Amino acid sequence: MSKGHILFVDDDETVLFLLKKLLQQEEYECHFAQSGEEALDKLSRLPIDVLISDMRMPDMDGFQLLSIVKERHPLVVRIILSGYLQVQTILAVINQIGVYRYLTKPFMVNEDTRQVLVDALKEARRLKRETPERQTQA
């Protein structure tokens, strides 16, 4: 079985740098993007299984990005990463876009978050197995 691919999206370069350092020994491939546009570019070129996006970003916020990903890449598991308690926004995203999980900042690499990432990769594999080929090419 190939290792999974997770894309982290955050406009804060420091957050991405720390994630890269903290996750370099994990069993899955990590990719990083500083904007929604960069994330969409990577999604079109790389075999991304899980997308973890910050909600507050300039130009394209996490809600917009996750909406586009749901439409263009429905088998990518979507996770919110946010340091702000935006209950109404988070609930809207979860209900409208089908978000798998919500993670808070500061993102801690501990057993709980490792398990969330592993579970999200398993969910992505399940979706790909159970989705007919014609739907994945839409």
pLDDT in tens, the chain (138 residues): 468 999 999 999 998 998 898 888 888 999 999 999 999 999 999 999 999 999 889 999 888 999 999 999 999 999 988 876 666 767 776 777 888 988 887 777 788 888 999 999 999 999 999 987 644 444
pLDDT at residue 138, rounded to an integer? 44
Q: Pick the closest to residue 22 from 34, 36, 8 (CA basis).
A: 8
Distance between CA atoms of 50 and 122, rounded to whole angstroms?
Answer: 10
pLDDT at residue 86, rounded to an integer? 66
The count of domains in the chain is 1
pTM, 2 dp: 0.86
pLDDT at residue 85, rounded to an integer? 62
CATH number at residue 11: 3.40.50.2300
CB 82 within 8 A of CB 55: yes
Find the domain containing 105 and state its range.
Answer: 5-136
Q: Is the dihedral of CA 109, 111, 114, 119 positive or negative?
A: negative
CB 83 within 8 A of CB 106: yes
